[in-house]
Structure 1
Amino acid sequence: MIYETMEELMEKAKEAEGKTFGEIDKHDRLHNKKSKGGLGQVVEESLFEYTVNSDTKPDFENLGVELKVTPFRKNKNGTLSAKERLVLNIINFMEEVKYEFDTSSFWRKNQKLLLMFYEWVPEVDRKDYSIFKSVLYTFPEADLEIIKQDWELIVGKIRAGKAHELSEGDTVYLGAATKGSSKSSVREQPYSEIKAMQRAYSLKQSYMTALVRKYIKNEDLVQFANAEELKQKSLQDILQDKFAPFIGMTDKEMAEHHGIAYNIKSKSFVATVVSALLGIKGTKLEQIEEFSKANIQFKTVRLEPNGIPKESMSFENIDFNEWTSEEWEDSYLRNRFYDTKFLFVVFQYKETKNENPNRELYFKGIKLWNMPESTIETEIRELWEEVNKLINEDELKIEYVKRGGKMVEKNNFPKSNFNGVTHLRPKGRDGSDKVDLPNGKRITKQCYWLNNTYVAEIVKDIL
């Protein structure tokens, strides 16, 4: 069926809101539980009544609209997030290098997206998932400038004969996601003999989460960069420009400059200063549009005079039941580093604590960083595998020793000398703050850390 107007198309899409896929399915597609594309195909065939295809043109060609059926989920804390990235079209390495952005396969196919959001619920049959909302989505002007920069970076790598080195961490909103059933899903690239993993353009999971928050929760996000700025500079350059005037100031001077009460012990103090430096004082970092869509998380780095932080960098407490029940490719830890960009806000002491107990912190600069894929697939994977081995093969040793008049827990989880990048350490309120392990043992809450020497190496170029 051909829809002549956008209004006619959206009216049809709205008919599905509140209905389950089982109610829409006229062709009994959902009996094949292994069919991954089944839900989208149900909407294509049974709601819009057109034949499923893998055409390079938009699904509704006369209107220039591509249909995408995409899931969101409710998290344990009550928030909503996208369940996954939104995979768009396959990148033909041999062809894409012939085009500019405006004539690219990405832009020809995805200028306008009809997004149909449904709620994914664990343990519920997919025929009972409900379509929640339909949105005709066109990219906001500022987003489009970032997406153009992302496209240029992806295609630039292909033109340099490095399609095999593409990584989703390279870009901000638009990713080049692996697309295929296995690592043997490879294809030729134009400027290298090396076969490259098949990839597809995708909107990152964090970008889709921001859309879920906007269209389903009606949450407003605040921008610090506008389209005109982004036409001239990258997001990273704009961030650098925002922070540059304050390099050399103490953290106290930075706070005073923006009328912020100085409270170094407050966990939110640096976050409050960061939002002020971005020109959106009072905005929580999770409400900053660019941070939300790109999954940029900030970490404060406090360097000693020798350029090394006193402490390693801590992350979340570990859910050991989750950790030991996942495959590496789908693991929380792997996705955590693939999907996150970190904004390191770096300060340094000029004196040791012995030299001056009242020493001050001086701002050195920022670094927008994502962990290299090679590190994730080697050192981070080593940590994941070692923890799994210790627990699943019952090799974890927990003992209590007397130290300073107190009984202290010791274990043989990987320590800071494990592989130079990462390790496990306790992160509970005290020794009595424990969790159950899958094997029935109890242990003080643990989290994973990045070694202080590894963090020092990441930020050394801004000192």
Structure 2
Amino acid sequence: MNNSQYDKSSVNSIYNFASRLEGKNLIQSADLPTNVVNSRNRGDLGRLVEKYYFCHTPPNNREPDFADAGLELKTTGISDYKKPTKSGEVIKAKERLSLTDINYRTIQHEQWESSTLIHKCNLMMILFYKYNKAVPVIEQYFAMKPLLVSILSSKLKQTSEDLDFIEKISLRISEDDLEMIRKDWEFIRQKIIDNKAHELSEGDTFYLGAARKGSGGENESLKKQNESDIGAPSRGFSFKQNFLTKLVQGHSKNLTSIGVGRTLTFDEATSLKFDSFIGLSEAEISRELNYSTNSKSRKWLLASRILARSGQKILEFEKAGILMKTVSLTRQGEGREHMSFPAFVSMELATQDWQDSDFANQIENKFLFVVFQEDENGEDRLIKVLYWNMPYQDRLEAERVWEDAKKRLQKDAKDLPRSTESKVAHVRPHAKNKNDLDISPQGEMIVKRCFWLNKSYIAEVVK
């Protein structure tokens, strides 16, 4: 394969050449050196595609990969891919889509429309491969045609021929989503200007994230901030995993929008839904909604129907990966229940690094807390709703608990951090029943466990 088979200055030509990958893997599509084939390479498929399929070396600067065409190339995995049905293709992004590195020292001088992010990624061609953990990257199959995505159409500078082509086949990010992405970018930029880059979290924002880029761990080299002696881990802009999934899937009939976009923020749109229910008891909310249930998840189901009377999932929540959780307080304002996360696999936890751990990713989510409190008559009443993501110092404490759990797990899987040992988090059982078991590093069968946020901590958060 050689680059004479396509024109590096033409979006149309590059796209058509990339389309030949559909249904094939890299071994079938490119002349790979013997050492690459024999290594059963598990590295970066995107770089291998650029080097061996496109025979192209991208510029080592902030220009798009195909600078002459103004086109950035991205390669990412998808899972749960199914053939098209009447309702469309079923696609789930394997991970967030990395866009470009964040320069803590120069972003303060940037404006959104002329930013490094827009300059490099305003027009992207995304190649999707069907992720299969069991096989090397060079044997992963490209599952669909490339996807052209344009962010700011007004800033496209391609030739008139390419602009016509882009207009016909590209996926345009909606104005509402674009406004939210701009606000996310502004939030991240302002936090860096305030010398708080070390406090950045993916839970800070909704669609555009500031994802960790470094190797992690205590040996990671930290980046200098402008006016702070505190070093910050490397981060890069990314489209969040859920946003990428919904971007590719399009708007499903099974999702309801709450109107977030150019005119309403997440807080405003959510308040419009909940305000008329604040102060009502569970029974009163049920009557207002004409919905009754005896489920243990009754509060959560009522909250879902406040947001969408049909009980459908919320489009904006699906895009942003927002987790809605109900919180129950006693009459005195104390938490009734610890807050659980999915059960972990002990053998995996014992070998993970914090940065790559499930718990680290889980606490970087953004949450919507729907808060009920018992009144003087013993009835639970809806008192408030709020968006929340875990503050930096509390994330450090959660990391300490996780590291302690990992260390103790390798010695005695039954002796893990308790709720009395941290103000933030602990470990306790989280199994469906007594037969829902996990194997410990010591080879014992034990009941599954998970990390929990302490009920006293959650009560403080929602005060």
- Say if 2:68 is the partner of 1:68: no
What corresponds to 1:347 in structure 2? Answer: 372
* Superposed CA offset, 1:103-137 (max 9, x none): 11111222222111112212312211111122112
* TM alignment of 1:299-448, pairs within 5 A: 299-338=325-364, 340-351=365-376, 359-378=378-397, 380-393=398-411, 395-396=412-413, 412-431=415-434, 433-448=436-451
- The Cα shift of 1:415 comes to 2.4
- Would you say the 8 A contact 2:254–2:312 is kept in 1? no
Between 189-198 and 322-331, the greater mean CA deviation after superposition:
189-198
Measured in 1, the distance between the counterparts of 2:428 and 2:108 equals: 47
CA change 1:367–1:30 in 2 (3 A) is farther
Measured in 1, the distance between the counterparts of 2:351 and 2:222 equals: 29
What corresponds to 1:104 in structure 2? Answer: 115
| TM-score (normalised: structure 2) | 0.82
- The Cα shift of 1:301 comes to 0.8
* Root-mean-square deviation over aligned CA pairs: 2.9
What is the one-letter code of the residue matched to 1:265?
S
Structure 1's unaligned 5+ residue stretches are: 397-410
* Superposed CA offset, 1:363-416 (max 9, x none): 1111211122432332x23333333333322x34xxxxxxxxxxxxxx543322
* TM alignment of 1:45-444, pairs within 5 A: 45-61=51-67, 63-74=69-80, 81-133=92-144, 134-138=146-150, 139-181=173-215, 184-211=220-247, 214=249, 222-226=255-259, 230-260=261-291, 262-267=292-297, 269-278=298-307, 280-285=308-313, 288-338=314-364, 340-351=365-376, 359-378=378-397, 380-393=398-411, 395-396=412-413, 412-431=415-434, 433-444=436-447
What is the one-letter code of the residue matched to 1:235?
F
What is the one-letter code of the residue matched to 2:76?
T
Measured in 2, the distance between the counterparts of 1:427 and 1:195 equals: 37
Structure 2's unaligned 5+ residue stretches are: 1-5, 82-89, 151-172
- Would you say the 8 A contact 1:94–1:190 is kept in 2? yes
SS at match of 2:348: helix
- Would you say the 8 A contact 1:174–1:203 is kept in 2? yes
CA change 1:383–1:30 in 2 (3 A) is same
- Would you say the 8 A contact 1:272–1:282 is kept in 2? no
Measured in 2, the distance between the counterparts of 1:34 and 1:433 equals: 36
Measured in 1, the distance between the counterparts of 2:64 and 2:393 equals: 36
- Would you say the 8 A contact 1:71–1:118 is kept in 2? yes
Measured in 2, the distance between the counterparts of 1:210 and 1:390 equals: 40
Measured in 2, the distance between the counterparts of 1:414 and 1:382 equals: 10
2:462 to 450, 459, 462: 459
Question: Kindly, what percent of the aligned residue pairs are identical?
Answer: 33
Measured in 2, the distance between the counterparts of 1:382 and 1:440 equals: 25
CA change 1:221–1:67 in 2 (3 A) is farther
* Superposed CA offset, 1:139-190 (max 9, x none): 2222111111111111112222333332222111111223334564444443
| TM-score (normalised: structure 1) | 0.82
* Superposed CA offset, 1:231-262 (max 9, x none): 244323322332122111112222322222x2
- The Cα shift of 1:211 comes to 4.2
Measured in 1, the distance between the counterparts of 2:210 and 2:245 equals: 18
What is the one-letter code of the residue matched to 2:31?
K
- Would you say the 8 A contact 1:74–1:80 is kept in 2? yes
Number of residue pairs aligned between Structure 1 and Structure 2? 424
Measured in 1, the distance between the counterparts of 2:458 and 2:326 equals: 11
SS at match of 1:281: coil
